[in-house]
Amino acid sequence: MSSPKSSLRPEILNPLFVKTTALKGIGPRLGKLVEKLVGEKIVDLLWHLPSGLIDRRFSPKVGDAPPNDVVTLTVEVLAHSPPPPGNRRVPYRVTCGDDTGRIVLVFFHAKGDYLEDALPIGERRVISGKVELFDGRRQMTHPDHIVELKDIASVQRVEPVYPLTAGLSGKVLDRAVKAALERAPKLPDWLDPAFKKQRQWPDWHEALTTAHNPTSEAELSPLTLSRSRLAYDEMLSNQLALSLVRLKARKRRGRELKGDGKLRAKVIAGLPYKLTGAQSRTLAEIEADMSSENRMLRLLQGDVGSGKTLVALMSMLIAVEAGAQAAMMAPTELLAHQHFENLKPLAALAGVRLEILTGRVKGAVRTEIMEGLANGSIHMVVGTHALVQKDVEFADLAFAVIDEQHRFGVAQRLELAEKGRGTDMLVMTATPIPRTLALTAYGDMDVSKLDEKPPGRKPVDTRTISLERLDETIAGIGRAIQKGAKVYWVCPLIEESEVTDLAAAEDRYATLKARLGNTVGLIHGRMKPNERDVVMEAFASKDGPGKDSSGPKILVATTVIEVGVDVPDATIMVIEHAERFGLSQLHQLRGRVGRGGKEGTCLLLFAPPLGETAKARLNILRQTEDGFLIAEEDLRLRGSGEMLGTRQSGMPEFRMADLSVHGELVAIARDDAQLIISRDAELKTPRGEALRTMLYLFEQDEAIKTLRSG
Ligand code: ADP
Ligand code: MG
């Protein structure tokens, strides 16, 4: 009997897999902040490496303490002078000194009792902070540390500085990370000994400790032995997890799907255009995969507008020609509808039955679709996650297309395929991904690229404009909507705060409304998905002959505009603070306009002054519309962490690895993972056991499941 075990995680790791609130000094309030910054579990603290350091080892006599230096002083507390009652502007002063001189500690808005407690008159204390000179006298405003003599070692050291979030002090985080490190066990090494030796890498535990205790600026480099090792561990887990999942997918036999080409011929005959070279080539690759007995797992990469829909449909038809069914899954209701609308006329040309199944489809209609899928009278279906619900059955699902899959997890990709037998799978993405990144996201998946756009598309006129010219820009937009244009106006993510983010969009919405009247709509991340759909649909609604659609002409948005949502008559994209976006993100956003055969314009509003790199980055967008080129450049200029914008991308979020620095290690990790799989696919050897622990450590639980289910 299989018990509903929550996890088979090795016990040795358990102390790391509890909430950070289990640590002393982290209550519910701080726990929330820590969670926002690093994550909810103690293990997350381990991966949060210092970004700087403060050297507190310098401990001169008071009389020798140089101004503007950080020092650690041992002093006697001489006198307290609280501010006069009722005058909060005067600081609380505490005079301290040694036999060489005096220093005044300055506290604004201080609590007197706390200070009397921390700095009792006549006693000696260790204080650390920056020395200032005020009226020729030494003072220290808000010392960073005040401790008793016996605790001097905790202060007189090189202190790591961690990236922080508002409300969380460095001291608290430092203490939490220390406590987390104390819980980190020594683990059997999972690295290949020869490789580890060749690289001169330390053990995991040592690497972690060293990385958290830098003693010089040089040790903050991502290329130190310790940090490289930690980065490699992270990439190896990623690659091994992908290989395991892929191995499972491959183990199931595929089937030979061969179509007679009749349905496809009908579609081609009915199309007003010819397939592009890239479309034909890609289709040939897919057809070859499908007709082989191996299971297909192929990634179709194509920039926005490269014609992925047609490729997907033609591939789906191969399955239908072979007498089976095909399904396409999209991440949102809206995208599913859009695919459905786009596929409908093509399916009609072929004369096959196409339906849509989403969470919104209910009652009798749903029952009918479920029956059709189960008895095979429905040949093709488009839908959302609703497609993988338990009660959905297919007569014979042989081909699955997953669109914009980066919103689906690795395991979810396989879920739809599991509804069928030997189901071939095509994953579509519009995100152009450089090779190193593709490796980390998809492992050794086969890749087809639609690198040629349908002819006749006009490039989007892309311009950079200083925010100083906002007024002119708004006036111009006003004229454009008079002439019938539809406009997206995107406001950027500010910091990590959704609240300020929203505030910026709401402000802009208000300004535009004041200037341009009721033609402005607002959409943001705080809205429920169906509320967003309503706004999006209103914006997308067409002006019929003689009637004016009531929908907004300008849509102010935070960056939630769904990749892939099509509003064909939207022709202008305004992006505010373009300098804060990833290039690929900008490129994706730009791809939203000029899709209906009309010329598109993209205005990149930037806040001056713009640095050299920022200027160079934005210029790339003006120079090219090649998403792959843009992605490569972006990776080069900014590093992977920032490149795709964190959450939106769904790319694996590395905590320690930075592909722009550790890129070389990705390919090694991939080869390492493949070798491991070929020699010890069940991870049963001693190294295999250690690797298993590593996978748990990096929370690759989905991959470990594949080991268990065999
Ligand atoms: P994607 O999904 O890759 O962003 P679509 O499949 O939506 O792109 O195609 C964009 C547009 O190009 C659609 O209007 C489609 O009808 C059109 N299209 C697709 N293939 C061709 C082609 N070979 N020639 C001309 N137009 C095409
Ligand atoms: Mg599309």
Between CA 437 and CA 663 the distance in angstroms is: 9
pLDDT band with cut points at 50, 70 and 90 for residue 437: low
Cα Rg of the chain (Å, integer): 30
Among residues 408, 425, 450, which one ends one of the domains? 450
The token pair that represents 462 in the structure block: 């892309």
Of all protein residues, the one whose alpha carbon is nearest to atom 25 of ligand 1 is 454
Residues 478 and 437 in one domain: no
State the pLDDT at residue 530.
76
Of all protein residues, the one whose alpha carbon is nearest to atom 10 of ligand 1 is 305
Give residue-wise pLDDT tens across range 662-688. Answer: 888 988 998 999 899 999 999 999 999
- How many angstroms is it from 301 CA to the middle of ligand 1? 14
Do residues 543 and 549 lie in contact, with contact meaning Cβ atoms separated by under 8 Å? yes
Do residues 637 and 616 lie in contact, with contact meaning Cβ atoms separated by under 8 Å? yes
Residues 84 and 177 in one domain: no
The residue count for the chain: 710
Residues 86 and 146 in one domain: yes
- The model's pTM is 0.63
- How many angstroms is it from 279 CA to the middle of ligand 1? 10
Between CA 530 and CA 533 the distance in angstroms is: 5
φ/ψ of 569, rounded to 5, equals -95, 15
Mutate to test the pocket of ligand 1, among 268, 273, 279, 402 (most ligand atoms within 8 A of CB): 273
pLDDT band with cut points at 50, 70 and 90 for residue 421: confident
- How many angstroms is it from 454 CA to the middle of ligand 1? 7
pLDDT band with cut points at 50, 70 and 90 for residue 501: low
φ/ψ of 33, rounded to 5, equals -65, -45
Tokens 């349905």 — which residue? 263
Q: How far is CA 560 from the centre of its chain?
A: 13
Residues 407 and 494 in one domain: no
Residues 2 and 106 in one domain: no
Ligand nearest to the CA of 305: 1
Residues with CB under 6 A from ligand 1: 273, 275-276, 279, 302, 304-310, 430, 454
Between CA 669 and CA 689 the distance in angstroms is: 18
Residues 347 and 468 in one domain: no
Query: In the predicted model, what is the mean pLDDT of residues 238-251?
Result: 80
- How many angstroms is it from 326 CA to the middle of ligand 2? 18
- The CB-side HSE value for 114 (13 A sphere, CA atoms) comes to 8
pLDDT above 80: residue 547: no
85 DSSP assignment: T
Domain count, the chain: 4
What burial class does residue 281 get, using C-beta atoms within 10 Å of its C-beta: 0-12 exposed, 13-18 middle, 19+ buried?
middle
Residues 277 and 425 in one domain: yes
Task: Count CB-CB contacts under 10 A for residue 70.
Answer: 16
The token pair that represents 686 in the structure block: 């001693």
The token pair that represents 226 in the structure block: 């310790």
223 is a domain residue: no
Of all protein residues, the one whose alpha carbon is nearest to atom 17 of ligand 1 is 307
- How many angstroms is it from 462 CA to the middle of ligand 1? 22
State the pLDDT at residue 241.
87
CA 129 to each of CA 58, 136, 193, 241, 301: distance values in angstroms, whole numbers, following the listed order: 11, 18, 44, 46, 54
443 DSSP assignment: T
pLDDT above 90: residue 540: no
Which atom of ligand 1 sits closest to the CA of residue 566?
A: 7
Between CA 285 and CA 277 the distance in angstroms is: 12
Residues 48 and 61 in one domain: no
Which atom of ligand 1 sits closest to the CA of residue 306?
A: 3
Q: How far is CA 11 from the centre of its chain?
A: 30
Q: Give the CA-trace dihedral at 343, 593, 481, 508, to 10 degrees.
A: 120
pLDDT above 80: residue 231: yes
pLDDT above 50: residue 478: yes
Of all protein residues, the one whose alpha carbon is nearest to atom 18 of ligand 1 is 307
- How many angstroms is it from 304 CA to the middle of ligand 2? 7
pLDDT band with cut points at 50, 70 and 90 for residue 221: very high
Between CA 258 and CA 243 the distance in angstroms is: 28
620 is a domain residue: yes
619 is a domain residue: yes
Residues 423 and 468 in one domain: no
Residues 404 and 536 in one domain: no
243 is a domain residue: no
Query: Can you give the residue range of the structural domain that contains 605?
Result: 461-624
561 is a domain residue: yes
Among residues 591, 608, 624, which one ends one of the domains? 624
Residues 66 and 39 in one domain: no
Ligand nearest to the CA of 591: 1
pLDDT band with cut points at 50, 70 and 90 for residue 438: low
Tokens 């244009």 — which residue? 485
Residues 486 and 522 in one domain: yes
Ligand nearest to the CA of 342: 1
Read off the CATH number of the domain in which 358 is found: 3.40.50.300
709 is a domain residue: no
Ligand nearest to the CA of 404: 2
CA 562 to each of CA 332, 383, 487, 566: distance values in angstroms, whole numbers, following the listed order: 9, 16, 15, 9
Q: In sequence order, which residues have a C-beta less than 8 Å from that of residue 383 and are 6 or more positions away?
A: 327, 328, 329, 330, 336, 356, 357, 358
The token pair that represents 689 in the structure block: 């056991």
- How many angstroms is it from 262 CA to the middle of ligand 1? 22
Q: In sequence order, which residues have a C-beta less than 8 Å from that of residue 143 and are 6 or more positions away?
A: 105, 127, 128, 129
Q: Tell me the H-state helices in 410-523.
A: 410-417, 435-442, 470-482, 498-516
pLDDT above 70: residue 564: no
* Segment holding 393, helix H or strand E: none
492 is a domain residue: yes
Strand partners, 403: 428
Ligand nearest to the CA of 304: 1
706 is a domain residue: no
Instruction: Spell 564-593 as b/e; 16+ CB within 10 A means b.
Output: bbbbebbbbbbbbbbbbbbbbbbbbbbbbb
- How many angstroms is it from 594 CA to the middle of ligand 2? 14
Mutate to test the pocket of ligand 1, among 310, 344, 382, 588 (most ligand atoms within 8 A of CB): 310
